[in-house]
Chain A
Amino acid sequence: MTGGSFRREQLTKKVALYFLLVTAALVFLIPYIWTVSSSLKPEQDIFSKDMSLLPSSFEWQNYVDAWTDWPLGTWLKTSIIVAVIETFSVVFTAVLAGYAFARLRFWGRDTLFLMYLGAMMIPIQVTIIPSFVIITRLNLVDTYMGIASIRLVQFFGVFLIRQFFMNLPAELEDAARIDGCNRIRILVQIFIPLSGPALTALSIFAFTAAWNDFLWPLVAVTRPEVYTVQIGLATMKGEVIRWGPMLAATALSALPVLIMYLALQRYFTQGITMTGLKG
């Protein structure tokens, strides 16, 4: 093989690869672009035959309509409150249990950990009916706590934090033990400050899961005043769909997580690569 033809082959390969990647990127991006551009179009433009990507004039009317004709603000408020409760609870419980499983010996530890792993594999649909019975008995239907209840702990989080803590050097802790620190101080002053990446990845995972959750809120909520944004969106699709406000509300609903994703991208995939493959 001569140098020239080799180089030409490399170039062809590069062009083909970029062609594949750019085409795929368009397939993934166009639905977003189309949503935003349609949400800015006046109603007649959305239904016009020419499919110009750019609106003929930018109109915020759809956003105003979505905000005034539907209680979008209330939905967003519920979603934010529930997602914050869940995120705090998931991280708090995972740090405690993760530390216990990684660093302490106590009765039944390994059996319990195996059971937690098993719990990760149980589909939410299997436990949802009894969970509904529980929150009904506790009068938690239509409350933030009720919506958050079945996601206050994520066993995946316990697993992730345990893996992370197990990889921290033992000497850290031993020195603190000799100085007479108790476990809570060790956790707060040594382990947590070192766990920035793991805690960020877990927080993001919990927040995104809470924000995008649909099935459980659908079960746990009956009154429109406590709809989450996902439930609200689903109800906007009435008999006749008003696509303008609908797409505007959809864009708004996806925005918080997408912004978080753009800012903290590497943490989003860390959860998968940290634990997923090494199951």
Chain B
Amino acid sequence: MSAMIAVRNLERTYVTGEFEVHALRGVSFDIQRGEFVAIMGPSGSGKSTLMNLIGCLDTPTAGSYHLDGLPVELLDPMLLAAVRNRKIGFVFQQFHLLARNTALENVALPLAYRGGIPAAERLERAAAALERVGLADRMEHRPHELSGGQQQRVAIARALVNNPALLLADEPTGALDTHTSAEIMALFNALNRDGVTVVLITHEPDVARHARRLLEIRDGLLVRDLPVERWDSSPRGPTRPRSRRLPVRSQWRSAL
């Protein structure tokens, strides 16, 4: 079985006015089915760019990205939307739930865009997903009636409802307190044990520690790729880039 995610020499260059910003400068790695990977890096390191590419929200300038065997860099926007719908479950820092809809309706939303599933079955599958994240008793609640942790659970259920190849979480605990964060991370762990492939993007070492493998990005390059248990013993990598800092970086930052 080939890798769930196969990234080769991935580059992404933004053109902002007269500057070319090299956000990703050639990154390669594989992620196997069932892994739990944290992608770490400080802000401006290119990890958000990498997340957008892995999430099929963006297409690379150069290099290749295969998700579950699909050559993503070759797909047109319509197919990318279908790939996002069926292969990827997004979890965002800001939850991004529709305020007017109940938890159940929010979770069922991706199934509507998939098409061909009767409404009753959509709600049934949404209810099953909510049970999986421990919210069986909150299905008819609207987001404002739920705590932050519960809202994020609803978002995770929404990400799971299409049985995606990949659960892609972007700072999922960024808006939560420490205790709730631990609960959410425990949930990710439990889902991963059940076989869900999880990719977590974060800048917090405490959060990244819950993963089993760590990818560290700096200045658009992969600087470390190691199991989490070897993280503390390994040389801590440059806290300040030694030679990689490019003049363009300050321009990019000011452009942002």
Are A and B co-members of a single complex? no
Residue numbers of B with Cβ under 8 A of A are: none
Residue numbers of A with Cβ under 8 A of B are: none
